Amino acid sequence: MEKDDEKSSIQSTTNPSEWNGRTIEIDDAGTGDLVGDAFIGFRDTENGRIIFQSVHVGLYNEENKDDNRPEKHILKVVMKALRTLNYSKGDRILLCRGNCFDLVRNYFDEHNIYYEPAIIDGELQDAVEGRFVNHLRKLGVYSKNLSKESGIQRYFILFDWVCRDFPNRERFVKTGFPSWKRKWRKIAMKRYTKYHQTKSPGINKIKRRANEIYRLMVENPKSLRKVLTQN
């Protein structure tokens, strides 16, 4: 079986071309998001079965990212999932066009595994994005605006979440993204400081009030009763 040399025909899973055999769809979620693990989803269109493989956020730190560790791991889990789905040479693979699958495409070409580049819509996209969002919820991202739709809005929801507790949440960041070290990490640190400076006047007021009550307890209990009655 031969693919178009230029891959000029991009399949859409909304209305894919007919195929005399089974089709396996492959899509990703979270590979370009700031926070959390990434997930690779697989759908057997013959029976509707969907399975997932995860890519740990640690693979996206600066040291591992430079060594293409995420892409190497993705290739590994793709081959594992295809074995789980009992892939055979007569099957068609519809593969998302994302850069995270570059090594997968190279491997498929080298081993004569037939695939077609595709825009993954519908059931698999919804499922794998849902898996990623559930993962974020478990990390503690409770924003009601967090959705399955990737993009700039989700990026800033996650960025703001990191900023609010930067020392404890940076470990969930894909720190190997060049823009994190170059720009966003510094902004996150400044916003963390700003958030806590904003809170501190209220905390200081509570401390001052507590000290005042303690002083009155020691020096003038009658005055203390009067102060507590007035509040």
- What is the reported pLDDT for 1? 44
218 plus 126 within the same structural domain? no
- What is the reported pLDDT for 63? 85
User: Which residue did the predictor score with more confidence, 195 or 127?
Assistant: 127
What value does the mean pLDDT take over residues 153-181?
A: 96
Q: CATH number for the domain including 132? A: 3.30.420
Q: Look up the pTM and report it.
A: 0.81
> Number of folded domains in the chain?
2
Mean pLDDT for all residues in the chain:
87
Q: At which of 144, 169, 189 does a domain end?
A: 144
In a domain, 137, yes or no: yes
What value does the mean pLDDT take over residues 141-166?
A: 96
Sorting pLDDT into bands at 50, 70 and 90, what band is 62? confident
DSSP states along 182-223: IIIHHHHHHHHHHHHHHHHHHHHHHHHHHHHHHHHHHH-HHH
31 plus 119 within the same structural domain? yes
In a domain, 155, yes or no: no
> What are 93-141's pLDDT values in tens digits?
999 999 999 999 999 999 999 999 999 999 999 999 999 999 999 999 9
Q: At which of 121, 144, 167 does a domain end?
A: 144
82 plus 183 within the same structural domain? no
- Dihedral angle over CA of 214, 215, 220, 226, nearest 10: -60
Sorting pLDDT into bands at 50, 70 and 90, what band is 217? low
The three-state secondary structure class of 7 is: coil
In a domain, 136, yes or no: yes
Question: To the nearest whole percent, how much of the chain has pLDDT over 70?
Answer: 82
Question: To the nearest whole percent, how much of the chain has pLDDT over 90?
Answer: 72
Residues 129 and 29: beta-carbon distance below 8 Å: yes
> What are 130-153's pLDDT values in tens digits?
999 999 999 999 999 999 999 999
pLDDT at 15 over 70: yes
139 plus 206 within the same structural domain? no
105 plus 186 within the same structural domain? no
* Token representation of residue 135: 């993962």
Range of the domain at 208: 178-230
125 plus 200 within the same structural domain? no
